Amino acid sequence: MRRIHRYIFFVSIAVVAALGTPPVRAQQQTYSPYSEYGVGELNTPAMSRYFGMYGLGVAAGDPYSVNYQNPASWGQVRTTTLDFSLQARNTRLSTAQTSIPFGSGGLNALAFVFTKPRSNFGVSAGLLPYSSVGYEVRRVITVPNDTTTANMVSHHEGQGGLNTFYLGAGGKLRNLPIYVGGSLNYLFGTVRNTYTSGFATTVSASNPLGITPTTRTEVHRTISYQGLSARAGIIYRDTLFRTHIPAPDSTSSARERARYQRRKVEQNAPNFLRVGLIWEQPVWGRSERDLIVVGSSGGSLYNAVDTLDRSPQVSVSLPFTAGMGICLERELRYLIGLDITYQNWSTFALDGENQHLQNLLRLSLGGEWIPNRNPTNLNAPFLSRIAWRAGTGYEQSYLRLNGQAITAYGASVGMGIPISKLSSNRINLGLQWQRRGTTENNLVREDNVRFLLGISFSELWYSPRKYQ
């Protein structure tokens, strides 16, 4: 039977890899004018369980799910586990004058943890988006033209993004309530930008940008990124207190006695304190850049007339990441935690040129609750085994435009629906709302609604036989 399960597991891997990999190459994960800057819009690295908790994960862990943020958590995973999720998104862009909706979506995460039962050690690999670029901005600028004025059109368009592939391991230190882990993360991807300008004319089906053909100039920029970083994590997990359920006495009411019968299974159950730390240090980074101009001739565009810059390889200064989290949990019952993550984007540079970004700070508060009081009860009612999740958070992004820091805040909810009696296999659903930016100072406000569909599938491997 186990061989059949492994066969199904590998088939699942092949299917999700076939479905998940193409979107990574050409995904449209965002429609945001803010993705024009830096490396695009940064994605919170949340697996399907943690999406509903607003990306909580620095100190969190679970026996039957994958947590990318802290490699130390892989030592807590008890069975070989696959986590795969897709994301759909609706974005409404608002200015002081108008509001426009857009839709996008793609891969959220694909990851595995391979472990041996009771080994307290796991090896993990995965693929997830790091950043996304998708924007189209048209500006009309009035400029002097001899004795009068003229309108110039500036049109910026971009797409692409970066992705992360990681490989690492984590485990528990013997006789200590401490888990440690580390991973190597390979960053790769391409961002394509097109800048079009010229004198304004009437917008039409044949000329959607409204630019006079004889004055039209296009600049195409393509940057391909590669980078390597090392991530290390540590989690301290120890019993904080044990649940005490007072036994009824002769004076107790029937209601109190019935309540005790329902809760006595929780008697002496351990409640754990978890404290986690992460650090990610860039090892190296580089990029290849092409900058090509296309001009007009006789009212029509002709092929590239000048290669302004073709840099075979230029250095990229990637930021480091530091994070701290704290959680209170009872395994397979409840979890509540708080994360703080920091990235020093102010040092981000391309070919030695600083990109004038600011440091990023992200706060996440979230939790999970499973009504079932006895996780070992395989006959518990279905609804009592559903995991309910919620979270909220705030982010100071790496952008500061028109003298205004671009911040975001939001909230999320989620649920994990068991698809087996052991509740180790779940379909994870998540819904997240986030507001970013403002309509002040000629900026854009974004209202994002994300929906996540994921699966966490576990299979027991390497279990020794009782009889030979």
Average pLDDT over residues 103-128: 91
Instruction: Provide CB contacts within 8 A for 422, sequence distance 6+.
Output: 378
pLDDT at 303 over 60: no
User: Model confidence at 22, in pLDDT bands (50, 70, 90)?
Assistant: very low
Pairing mode of beta strands 300-301, 334-343: unpaired
**Is the pLDDT higher at 24 or at 106?**
106
pLDDT at 304 over 70: no
For all residues of the chain together, what is the average pLDDT? 85
Structural domains present in the chain: 2-459 (2.40.160)
Q: Is the dihedral of CA 43, 395, 272, 70 positive or negative?
A: positive
User: Model confidence at 426, in pLDDT bands (50, 70, 90)?
Assistant: very high
What is the tens place of the pLDDT at every residue in 27-72? 467 789 999 999 999 998 899 999 999 999 999 999 999 999 999 9
pLDDT at 90 over 90: yes
pLDDT of 412 reads 98
Q: Is the dihedral of CA 302, 307, 312, 316 positive or negative?
A: negative
Specify the range with the lowest mean pLDDT, choosing from 21-25, 285-289, 335-339, 350-354.
21-25
**Is the pLDDT higher at 221 or at 210?**
221
| 274 and 335 Cβ atoms separated by less than 8 Å | no
> What pTM does this model have?
0.87
User: Model confidence at 94, in pLDDT bands (50, 70, 90)?
Assistant: very high
Average pLDDT over residues 72-98: 92
User: Model confidence at 221, in pLDDT bands (50, 70, 90)?
Assistant: confident
Calpha distance 32→446 (Å, rounded): 8
pLDDT of 20 reads 47
Pairing mode of beta strands 178-199, 349-350: unpaired
Q: What are phi and psi for residue 381, nearest 5 degrees?
A: -55, 145
Pairing mode of beta strands 349-350, 353-354: antiparallel
**Is the pLDDT higher at 440 or at 311?**
440
Average pLDDT over residues 332-356: 90
User: Model confidence at 299, in pLDDT bands (50, 70, 90)?
Assistant: very low
At 455, which helix (H) or strand (E)? strand 445-459
What is the tens place of the pLDDT at every residue in 164-212? 999 999 999 999 999 999 999 999 999 999 988 888 777 777 777 777 7
Average pLDDT over residues 364-377: 87
pLDDT of 26 reads 42
Specify the range with the lowest mean pLDDT, choosing from 95-99, 313-317, 326-330.
313-317
pLDDT at 311 over 60: yes
User: Model confidence at 243, in pLDDT bands (50, 70, 90)?
Assistant: confident
pLDDT at 116 over 50: yes
